[in-house]
Structure 1
């Protein structure tokens, strides 16, 4: 297959973020919730520049021979990215303007300096003096300034064609400030400073203010994308650094005069490619914290309180419940405290002798961490595997690792070039003179906060074959075992890739022999070339392939002939809704004896080859049927699903031939609520 038979992941990611923006644009989304989608779009784009654009820019510095080995042209990719981003920024501005008009119809106003009446000006002038001024960091001299990554600044132009920079105190103060007036009136912190900026520079005549924000490189992890270790080391050596901190882009108010932009470019040592025009306000991820006014519930999502689990939430002995039957949990539809209770029970149960667990992203404070500390206080053996390279959470993970270590836990940090991305825990309990193992294997992190917005699944099991496999996984992590001998689990980088490829080939063989063949898979991202080429072969063989891919999807086509359409037996959709779809589910027809796996791995090269990932087969019939029903609701979503086609059109699913509207996230909630009521 030619390399042009794959979509470029970094370019395709932008179309995923466009789907987020479309939810902000969608007038069927509750008005105040549309602000949150603006925040997600903005936050996503910031991280994208820090990570993906950063990598491309650094690769651009390599000599021609090294760039050739990477099989793509960083320069042309960057140009296409910036062109697409600029187009989306225009769309972003239009969406904001539309939302502001709709808010005003509801008597909710976000005022700017030009809109302030005299009463508001007096109020905000006093507010600046008493609450803001002392927190503003002022740079009257512009030489040798290093702007903080993602912080907000106002550049003030003066009458003498000089300029000054003010760092806004967004860490200390709220971004949106309630101001006097009819209805619900707010303004940006930025405009409070704009109004009184002359007080910061009394010796100069200030003309106007313009927002800027700089994004800096996150640390470069090329090993996430390239499997050739020797090549990766050559690249690092050639770059001479792996440290973060280089500027990736300067986002600036497009109304800024040319002389001022030119001065900033020179003084901050930036190039043309670093300059990105934007609107008057940046860091609109702060819309996450926009204060919803009282009595505006109809402008928000209807409440969907997390449900009790039909078995585990009512169990007097969680281990007894799990030993009798596997238990499946679904977040955010069900309460995360079933995991916390599992670990709390383990920490206090005198029969429990040991706990082992992986930590990829842990909250700064949580009942889960408290349970582990309680276990240590109760003299139980605790072994934790902490991912030290979970991007943007490195410091927090390391902090917790050190705390647990000081309290007596055995803490093992991930080794370079292999991340521990699996979400697994195991409890060892002494029962009738034998050690019984209890396992949890999930698709999402052990994090109570994210569990309220991430759609994930987790399996509790005491199945001996599964727990025996998982015990080996922990032995690998403890460096006691090099290669596990696995019977049930799929574990990267050992068995996941080859097993999935074999399962796809089984479906191809069935289709060739005229038998029913099908592959249904839900994941966050589809990028690995071997997996995509296997899907191409399956589609060409007549296998029915149905995919749900939330993020980027590099699947392009199954033939070099552009006239050959494979739409009849492959259909790919993406669901962007109230919650973030994060679960991974893989279902194979398998000659009528269906096989299903859930776990932490996407079909990305890094998840298959360079991370410790764990996927578990669903063996319990009831759980299998429950998960398949949930998957079918998602496959039939005709309200929030969009089609991933060759043109990146992001068009909505056509449901004209379906009997009723299906919004899968709400349908799943109702389904689980009904099951709970039936079982109680």
Structure 2
């Protein structure tokens, strides 16, 4: 095939998460965290991607997708790959993680639990759970209304079957059964039930866990004459009753019982996924922590200072003098939120405009905007209400900001707004002066602690004038914006990337060495892949860091030689997008090279003019391409072989050093300027 299917490529990415679970170089409890990440990733994958294939297969006639694959084929491949990965996860968990915890005095009781510990569990049940478990009998005439993602226990006793929903929110999942100086015993509430069900249904009772995952797509009725918020609220209510796309079950359930469940839920056989005794491993995010065992965790992250802001009592002046580059989580996102808070309380600030894509529930950004609106400033918020799984949070903050007096717009018809920017207008000496933030990651202080992103605080009119054009369009889509410096999708972003690559082809044909360095989360767009192939065939070299989906497959020897792709998976999620399109053009961006980003979203790529920052970005990609500890070579077969390199530190550790050197250089420049003034 001409392209690697995006979903099979994504499973290869989740395979890289498995490699981190298997790595002895990762502290034990961080490996457990990767177990949770792997499971969380897979859950979303089934709710979104697998569900879309099932929907296409059932209602659209099993037609080939843009990569040339039929849904039926992709679903079969997904089942095979996920089965292999789940088996590997179980092996790593029971043969490495659980014994490793036990050696550290953390006894996680799971699987076959011995008699002495069963007695402890029975005693705990009698003291805390004796009247908690309410069973529901399943009969032939009984219809099932099962919650999305909830864990259920199927109990078989004396030829009858019963159902129990595991209410983790009410009970918790992990229970400290016994604790002393030598060890802590932890058990799952699942096993508290399992080893006490005989007290309810008799000695011959058998329990098996299962769960369903439902289609998470919001099918919005465009015919209804309602605003988008009401439509989405209605659709969100249906998410828990969406089309089931997976039935994950304990592989030891007798087939006749799992088949009966399948029939009741109207699932086909390919929806059955055999698993282990326990499900929802993403709950390990909430596993008890052990602060007295710091060696089991990554060292506490030290945040680097931002010298231009830290050493200034006037941030506006500091930003006017020089663009302020920020790199998260190596530096604190508080610099961004504090600047917004400052603007909200500043009498001279008259207007704040921003885009919000994924907002944390306790958003400092949204609180600052609310304060600004309450103080009478003109606040415009484009809240992307179709940001999947953040719809409720975005609606909540949108409605709250409206109540405070802000003008809120909930997305744009046919275009998601994925840009991560804000624009502040301040009255200075009788004129409005603009200040802006442009970033590669969401305005979300929670994810900024674990996502590796870059941002820029600026007063440069080359940025702010173009950004003003963006907001004029967002406020009124009939307006025709013009851009001189920002590459904005869907207007000029694809066009300018294409132009730059074609220019590189021309120069390569003339004998000039050409190398493009690109960092993305995903490379999926067939048109862009074809252009990369054409360029590679003409001698253009591509060095690409792509964390996740990569649909590129070389079709010639030159493409194999000239396109090198590496994925880095480490303790922070690599999220930055960087386009080095030639020696003079380096951009930071919100957009991956996916069809949706380039053609059906509002995205912004912004040029980096500061040579020191450009050097940092070039060095970041160069080192990630040679990261022999956390870098994997991406190939169509998805083997995830590690990069061969003698580097002694990870690229994220190197990035910390790069940011530290840059901020120190800024400090020295500031000291020098002060000396010159004296």
Other-structure match for 1:613: 603
Aligned-partner Cα distance in 2 for 1:242–1:214: 13
Q: How does 1:1-400 map to 2 (within 5 A)?
A: 4-64=1-61, 71-97=68-94, 98-112=96-110, 114-118=112-116, 120-132=117-129, 136-142=133-139, 143-159=142-158, 161-180=159-178, 182-199=182-199, 201-202=200-201, 206-219=204-217, 245-400=242-397
SS at match of 1:545: strand
C-alpha contact (below 8 Å) 1:489/1:614 kept by paired residues: yes
* Deviation sequence 1:329-387 (CA, Å, 0-9, x none): 11111001011111001101111000000000101112222211211121111000000
Aligned counterpart in structure 1 of residue 518 of structure 2, from 518, 521, 544: 521
Other-structure match for 1:595: 585
SS at match of 1:251: strand
Displacement of 1:104: 2.1
* Deviation sequence 1:574-601 (CA, Å, 0-9, x none): 0000010000000022xxx421011100
Aligned-partner Cα distance in 2 for 1:114–1:242: 36
Displacement of 1:133: 5.3
Q: TM-score, normalised by structure 1?
A: 0.91
Aligned-partner Cα distance in 2 for 1:63–1:546: 38
Displacement of 1:642: 0.2
Aligned counterpart in structure 2 of residue 672 of structure 1, from 642, 654, 659: 659
Other-structure match for 2:433: 436
Other-structure match for 1:228: none
1:312 to 1:558, Cα distance in 2 relative to 1, 3 A: farther
Aligned-partner Cα distance in 1 for 2:126–2:325: 56
Aligned-partner Cα distance in 1 for 2:559–2:374: 60
C-alpha contact (below 8 Å) 1:152/1:213 kept by paired residues: yes
Aligned-partner Cα distance in 1 for 2:33–2:240: 32
* Deviation sequence 1:603-652 (CA, Å, 0-9, x none): 00000010111110001223222333333332332210000013211000
* Deviation sequence 1:13-33 (CA, Å, 0-9, x none): 110110011110111111111
Other-structure match for 2:482: 485
Displacement of 1:197: 2.3
1:500 to 1:46, Cα distance in 2 relative to 1, 3 A: same
Q: Which of 212-221 and 76-85 deviates more? A: 212-221
Displacement of 1:244: 6.3
SS at match of 1:180: strand
Aligned-partner Cα distance in 2 for 1:347–1:574: 40
Q: Is the counterpart of residue 663 in structure 1 residue 657 in structure 2? A: no
SS at match of 2:616: helix
Q: Is the counterpart of residue 626 in structure 1 residue 616 in structure 2? A: yes
Other-structure match for 1:238: none
Aligned-partner Cα distance in 2 for 1:43–1:145: 25
Displacement of 1:675: 4.3
Aligned counterpart in structure 1 of residue 638 of structure 2, from 648, 654, 658: 648
C-alpha contact (below 8 Å) 1:220/1:243 kept by paired residues: no
Aligned counterpart in structure 1 of residue 406 of structure 2, from 385, 409, 418: 409
SS at match of 1:626: helix
Displacement of 1:317: 1.9
Displacement of 1:406: 0.9
1:129 to 1:379, Cα distance in 2 relative to 1, 3 A: farther
SS at match of 1:389: coil
Other-structure match for 1:418: 415
Displacement of 1:664: 0.7
Displacement of 1:67: 5.9
Other-structure match for 1:604: 594
Displacement of 1:72: 3.4
Q: Which of 565-574 and 131-140 deviates more? A: 131-140
Displacement of 1:270: 2.3
Q: Which of 404-413 and 622-631 deviates more? A: 622-631
Aligned-partner Cα distance in 2 for 1:507–1:126: 72
Q: Report how many aligned residue pairs link the two structures.
A: 646
* Deviation sequence 1:159-190 (CA, Å, 0-9, x none): 2x221111111112322111226512211121
1:333 to 1:205, Cα distance in 2 relative to 1, 3 A: same
* Deviation sequence 1:252-280 (CA, Å, 0-9, x none): 01111122212222333322111100011
Aligned-partner Cα distance in 1 for 2:588–2:36: 30
Other-structure match for 1:237: none
* Deviation sequence 1:200-254 (CA, Å, 0-9, x none): x45x6652111101100011579xxxxxxxxxxxxxxxxxx99961111010011
C-alpha contact (below 8 Å) 1:633/1:662 kept by paired residues: no
C-alpha contact (below 8 Å) 2:545/2:621 kept by paired residues: no
1:185 to 1:621, Cα distance in 2 relative to 1, 3 A: same
Aligned-partner Cα distance in 2 for 1:215–1:8: 22
C-alpha contact (below 8 Å) 1:544/1:569 kept by paired residues: yes
Other-structure match for 1:581: 574
* Deviation sequence 1:287-341 (CA, Å, 0-9, x none): 1111122422112111222222222234322211111111111111100101111
CA RMSD of aligned residues (A): 2.2
SS at match of 1:648: coil
Structure 1: 5+ residue stretches without partners: 223-240
Displacement of 1:666: 1.1
Other-structure match for 1:570: 563
SS at match of 1:355: strand
1:414 to 1:521, Cα distance in 2 relative to 1, 3 A: same
C-alpha contact (below 8 Å) 1:475/1:481 kept by paired residues: no
Aligned-partner Cα distance in 2 for 1:476–1:124: 62
Aligned-partner Cα distance in 2 for 1:580–1:117: 43
SS at match of 2:246: strand
Displacement of 1:128: 3.1
SS at match of 1:60: helix
Q: TM-score, normalised by structure 2?
A: 0.91
